[in-house]
């Protein structure tokens, strides 16, 4: 079984300040982890992915995430928020066990608000 917990449903930051979106996971197998971003009435865009290579993963638009197995966490960070970062962010886990590789489990999402 697997699950994803996004600890904050809503995060508000000022433009130019750091962003931290928290994600904890549980998985019976070594997981692949993803962060997706969704703008209003749009589909999901992949920000970054962890697939058992480097634990610090760099993604698009200046985002990065660190896989910490001991803490079962995969928090998303960005040094300086931009107004265009305002969106919904989803942490997603996928097991690597054969036969289930495609079945994703989504977190409940974190809405990021960026203020002037």
Partner 1 sequence: GAVVSQHPSRVICKSGTSVKIECRSLDFQATTMFWYRQFPKQSLMLMATSNEGSKATYEQGVEKDKFLINHASLTLSTLTVTSAHPEDSSFYICSARDRASGNSPLHFGNGTRLTVT
Provide the binding-site residues for partner 1, judged by CB under 8 A. 32, 34, 36, 41-46, 49, 51, 90, 96, 101-104, 106-109, 111
What tokens were used for 72? 């079962």
Q: Which is nearer to partner 1, 15 or 49 (CB)?
A: 49
**Tokens matching residue 30:** 């070594």
The minimum distance between CB 52 and partner 1, in angstroms, equals 10
Closest approach, Cβ 16 to partner 1, in A, equals: 27
Take residue 12 and report the two structure tokens written for it: 């508000």
Nearer to partner 1, 72 or 111 (CB): 111
- CA-to-CA distance for 31 and 33, rounded, in angstroms? 6
Sign (positive or negative) of CA dihedral 26, 74, 59, 41: positive
Backbone region of residue 61 per phi and psi (left: phi > 0; alpha: psi in -120 to 50; beta: other values): left
Q: Given the complex with partner 1, which of 39 and 69 has the nearer CB atom?
A: 39
| Minimum separation from the CB atom of position 92 to partner 1 (A) | 9
Least distance between partner 1 and beta carbon 116 (Å): 24
Distance of CA 15 to the CA centre of its chain: 20
């Amino acid at each position: 079984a697997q699950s994803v917990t996004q600890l904050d449903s809503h995060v508000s930051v000022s433009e130019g300040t750091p962003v931290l979106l928290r994600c904890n996971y549980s998985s019976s197998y070594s997981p692949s982890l993803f962060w997706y971003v969704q703008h209003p009435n749009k589909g999901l865009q992949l920000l970054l992915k962890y697939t058992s290579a480097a634990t610090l993963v760099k993604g698009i638009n200046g985002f990065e995430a660190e896989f910490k197995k001991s803490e079962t966490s995969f928090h998303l960070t960005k040094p300086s928020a931009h107004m265009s970062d305002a969106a919904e962010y989803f942490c997603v886990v996928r097991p690597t066990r054969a036969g289930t590789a495609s079945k994703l489990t989504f977190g409940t999402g974190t809405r990021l608000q960026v203020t002037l």
